[in-house]
């Protein structure tokens, strides 16, 4: 994959170039807009990292030129804090994301991997938001309980529902928490590279193997290997994977040296695995090896109680990251978020909140900021109940669980509030 860096600071450009090359990308560089245009015309570029301010031209006009030229290449804006308004303008024009200088290696590589749907990321521990819906709490509770065991876990659920969060939770509460958590997207690895990606390869094993390289198993040794979209794994790789899980050893491609591993496997899929087994697309013996315990992560539309807390969590996270101030959401925005079905699940909610934080002009994020102008926000009883629960929950949090103080602020008695909480299943 080719990445174009457009940056006039040669030290920064060289540093980013080394990081990306180390991550396995081919990198081209330009110091100004004319140079970038020339490279884009002559090469098939997969991603552009562009500075806003350049000695000749700028990142915004480069993005506008790419749009006019119908170049469907993802564009990430790099900007100083002082130029954040330019980043906002770029996002509105169509830039996919932004990076604030100084650029951090881990954040850069993770963003690039995500943008290009690359198969592997070594994750560091992240913050979690405690979800309150019954279905999500059940999944999280099961994840915590199984964490201390060595059972292989298969997480089922639709795309974007937060299956990786459950996998990270299992790792976080396990005895392996201080070791690597390696996430692999099984559906994005070319068939002919599967073995070398998982098991590594020695120098000269095949064309392009210019040095020894570790595979996913060795990278994750001692920790957790998360196999996302495992249902898309080719049948030939399923055979190799089953053998490694049984023997706990493997040979790098091109080597006769046996390497022993100690890795916990957590997998995830949005496929009907039993159907895949029946149709012969997935090995039955591997399925049972991976699914010693199954956890179901529900779609967001079935977890309406989680929408507003998740939205607030993402708002604070993104606002802190780009250092902008906002105070929350308009009531109309809250109603629309609750009324929307979220086909992209938690991933879509996060993306819409991120965009809203970047483009918002007011203290309260509104429907237009979220891109939910066409959602039916008409009042309905279910939405009113969820909003009432959210209001009580927020007041209880603000008052550190003091029911009497919360009741006083709501204008009701302590007994009435307890009855209301019981009715709303608030604990």
Comparing 120-296 with 301-423, is the CATH topology the same?
Answer: no
CA-nearest of 403, 170, 344 to 268 is 170
The CA-based angle 104-107-111, given to 5 degrees, is 135
Domain boundaries, given as residue ranges, for the chain: 2-116, 120-296, 301-423
Q: Contact, 68 vs 61, CB < 8 A? A: no
Q: What is the structure's pLDDT at 259?
A: 93
- Kindly report the pTM of this predicted structure: 0.70
Class of 120-296 in CATH: alpha beta
* Fold for the domain defined by 2-116: Rossmann fold (3.40.50)
Kindly write down the DSSP assignment for every residue of 331-348, as one continuous string: HHHHHHHHHS--TTHHHH
Cα-flanking dihedrals φ and ψ of residue 270, to 5°?
-105, 10
Q: Contact, 240 vs 216, CB < 8 A? A: no
* Fold for the domain defined by 301-423: Helicase, Ruva Protein; domain 3 (1.10.8)
The CA-based angle 147-149-150, given to 5 degrees, is 105
Q: What is the structure's pLDDT at 116?
A: 80
Mean pLDDT by 10 residues, the chain (427 residues): 92 91 87 94 93 87 91 88 69 82 82 74 63 92 95 96 95 94 87 87 72 86 95 94 95 90 97 96 96 97 93 92 86 90 94 90 91 74 71 83 88 86 78
Tokens 């245009």 correspond to what residue? 37
Q: What is the structure's pLDDT at 389?
A: 77
Tokens 């590594």 correspond to what residue? 200
Tell me how far apart the alpha carbons of residues 334 and 170 are, in angstroms, rounded to a whole number: 31
Task: Count Cβ atoms below 10 Å from residue 301 Cβ, excluding itself.
Answer: 14
Tell me how far apart the alpha carbons of residues 91 and 85 are, in angstroms, rounded to a whole number: 10
CA-nearest of 127, 108, 50 to 320 is 127
Q: Contact, 250 vs 263, CB < 8 A? A: no
Kindly state the DSSP code that residue 294 receives in the 8-state scheme: E
């Amino acid at each position: 994959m080719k990445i174009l860096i457009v940056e006039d600071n040669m030290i920064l450009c060289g540093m980013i170039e080394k990081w990306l090359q180390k991550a396995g990308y081919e990198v081209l560089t330009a110091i100004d807009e004319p140079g970038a245009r020339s490279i884009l015309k002559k090469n098939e570029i997969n991603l552009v990292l562009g500075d806003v301010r350049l000695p000749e031209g700028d990142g915004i006009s480069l993005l506008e030129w790419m749009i006019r030229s119908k170049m469907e290449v993802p564009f990430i804006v790099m900007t100083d804090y002082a130029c954040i308004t330019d980043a906002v303008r770029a996002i509105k024009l169509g830039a996919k994301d932004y990076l604030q200088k100084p650029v951090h290696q881990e954040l850069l590589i993770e963003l690039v991997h995500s943008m290009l749907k690359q198969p592997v990321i070594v994750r560091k521990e992240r913050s979690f938001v405690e979800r309150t819906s019954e279905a999500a709490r059940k999944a999280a509770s099961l994840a915590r309980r199984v964490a201390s065991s060595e059972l292989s876990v298969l997480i089922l659920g639709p795309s974007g529902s937060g299956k990786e969060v459950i996998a990270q939770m299992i790792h976080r509460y396990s005895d392996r928490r201080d070791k690597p958590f390696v996430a692999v997207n099984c559906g994005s690895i070319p068939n002919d590279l599967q073995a070398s990606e998982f098991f590594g390869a020695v120098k000269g094993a095949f064309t392009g193997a210019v040095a020894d390289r570790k595979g996913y198993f060795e990278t994750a040794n001692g920790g957790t290997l998360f196999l996302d979209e495992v249902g898309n794994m080719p049948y030939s790789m399923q055979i190799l994977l089953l053998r490694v899980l049984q023997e706990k050893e493997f040979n790098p491609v091109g080597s006769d040296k046996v390497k022993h591993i100690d890795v916990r496997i957590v997998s995830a899929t949005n496929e009907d695995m039993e159907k895949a087994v029946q149709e012969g697309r997935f090995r039955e013996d591997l399925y049972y090896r991976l699914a010693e315990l199954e956890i179901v992560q529900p779609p967001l539309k079935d977890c309406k109680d989680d929408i507003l807390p998740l939205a607030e969590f993402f708002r604070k996270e993104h606002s802190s990251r780009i250092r902008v101030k906002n105070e929350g959401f308009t009531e109309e925005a809250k109603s629309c978020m609750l009324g929307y079905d979220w086909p992209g699940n938690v991933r879509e909610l996060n993306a819409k909140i991120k965009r809203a934080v970047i483009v918002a002009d007011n203290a309260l994020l509104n429907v237009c900021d979220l891109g939910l102008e066409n959602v039916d926000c008409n009042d309905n009883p279910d939405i009113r109940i969820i909003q009432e629960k959210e209001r009580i929950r927020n007041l209880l949090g603000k008052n550190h669980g003091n029911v009497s103080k919360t009741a006083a602020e709501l204008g009701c008695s302590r007994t009435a509030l307890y009855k209301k909480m019981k009715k709303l299943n608030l604990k």
